[in-house]
Amino acid sequence: MSYNLTEVQDWIANDPSEADRGELTALLERAENGDPDAAAELSDRFAGTLQFGTAGLRGAMAAGPNRMNRAVVRRAAAGLVRYLLEKVGDDALLVIGNDARYHSREFAEDTAAIAAAAGIRALIMPRELPTPLLAYAVQHLGADAGVMVTASHNPARDNGYKVYLGGRCADQFGQGVQLVPPADADIAALIAAAPAAGDIPLADTYGAIGEDVIDSYVSETAALVPAMYSRDLKIVYTAMHGVGTPIMRRIFSEAGFENVIEVAEQCTPDPDFPTVPFPNPEELGALDLAKELAASVDADIVIASDPDADRCSAAVPEHGTWRQLSGDEIGSLLGEYLAGGAVLEPGTPTFASSIVSSRMLEQIATSHGLAYQATLTGFKWIARTPHIAYGYEEAIGFCVNPGAVRDKDGLSAGILLAVLASKLRDQGSDLLGELDRLYTKHGVYLSGPVTVRVDDLSIIPATMAKVRTTPPTTLAGSPVARVWDLSEGSDALPATDGIAWFTDAHDRVIIRPSGTEPKVKCYLEVYLPAGSDLQATKAEAAARLEQFKEDVSAALVL
């Protein structure tokens, strides 16, 4: 692979960032002087343009068209603004937010300045704030689109550009939801046609989202908590070095939870994420500091937000240690709690979850007389479910108040976990006891992942080809009864790159490439009827899940 010298020089000439121009100039000089590493790096950075899709933009921050930087963001903003002008007109409203990662604010300000220069209304959040606040603002203000500059829980080197559509750019059930086809392709085409970054006009001024919007979100989220339960629960909270602390602190207080102890090392924004190599609450070890603090203060629960606070995790005491709940366990618990009071008009209140999440939510919804819908992976699909009352995905994403935030929201999920834990304690139970009650009623559903992370991206399509052409005949001792190729689509689901295997024992695995990271992800679930001895059934299910993981891992080997 080699770079085009003229292309590199043109990019440098039009790059609006002095630092990025200097970085590329130095890299080019090294490459031209015969440094093979510099030449390879330059070739990679100019191998193409960072692609805009249903996840918006996401990638490592560095100079060049195949990275996240001001030049790439300015062209993305110009394409989005052109889309709004064509779709709506010059009275379109765009709202913009950002987290605390490196360059997030300048990316957000550039977007606002480009929108204002093109003549549309642009309102930017007054400071670094969680993603759910931006999603809330899209609906609350009736905006035609929203941009959130965040890489969520990705490593520190990354940043991203997430786009929501609303107002006149979305139908009834897509208001304030992340974009899906064909809008992503339409915007991508306009980005490709945008001028060089240095030629895109910027305005000197633009508007700001008022504190009243932030106050409204806090009050509306705190109001989800009913008055009848106690508030003396001892909570340990961590923001994972992100932006969740100030808003979560206000929600806890307004809802009446004052006994909250913050993980000091992780509750101030820090874009280097110094205490966790990978700032995702799901990752092994990510909650270690929170668990240690919880043990030392004899807390009742750990509640964690990821860096942009759109995801929520939790840990609870169990047999003298602390156990982190899985996304499926939290999803089932919140679903059961919300099912009793789910009301949404018009239409039947509907629960939704991604096809890779636990099948227990469908059982919970049905038992309460509610509708259920399975969707493709991602909240861009979950949140646009008609008449949605609650939705979740196993990757610790929960939409508990879709009338306010039609996306995953780790802040509202966190406060509902707190009130559920309080309710159960008042009744002499706890979250683990409630899970056992659900298992007794619906059967034991245990889920777990198998992940193949790759350096060579060619391994991903090769792996998907293998699982399509040579599926195993048995998994965890049970014959594979059905193979479902998700790329063929169906009346219920659009086509997507994935394959599902179902066994006679009612176990299931779905295999798909990650949409945001270089890996193949497998979502496993085993099922057993509860039986007369629940603990024995859980142990049997856990053993079968481990065997299931081994068999699926073997089936992936090329």
Please answer whether residues 260 and 235 qualify as being in contact, where contact means their C-beta atoms are separated by less than 8 angstroms.
yes
Which of the residues 17, 152, 332, 353 is marked catalytic?
152
Comparing CA positions, the residue from 6, 4, 10, 38 lying closest to residue 23 is: 38
Return the residue matching tokens 């980005």.
191
Q: What is the DSSP string of 317-336?
A: EETTEEEEPPHHHHHHHHHH
Query: Phi first, then psi: what are they for 97, rounded to 5°?
Result: -135, 170
Please answer whether residues 508 and 502 qualify as being in contact, where contact means their C-beta atoms are separated by less than 8 angstroms.
yes
Return the residue matching tokens 């997430």.
162
Full strand arrangement of the beta sheet holding 235-238: 260-262, 235-238, 301-305, 312-318, 321-324
Here the tokens at position 204 are 């000197």
Q: How far apart are CA 422 and CA 165, in angstroms?
A: 37
Comparing CA positions, the residue from 170, 176, 162, 138 lying closest to residue 56 is: 162
Q: How far apart are CA 228 and CA 207, in angstroms?
A: 41
Q: How far apart are CA 436 and CA 534, in angstroms?
A: 8
Q: How far apart are CA 511 and CA 549, in angstroms?
A: 12
**Would you give the distance in Å from CA 525 to the centre of its chain?**
21
Surface-to-core class of residue 79, CB atoms within 10 Å of its CB (0-12 exposed, 13-18 middle, 19+ buried): buried
Strands of 173-267 (E only): list them: 177-178, 207-208, 235-238, 260-262
User: Catalytic site residue 104?
Assistant: no
Please answer whether residues 191 and 78 qualify as being in contact, where contact means their C-beta atoms are separated by less than 8 angstroms.
yes
Here the tokens at position 81 are 């603004």
Could you list the active site residues?
152
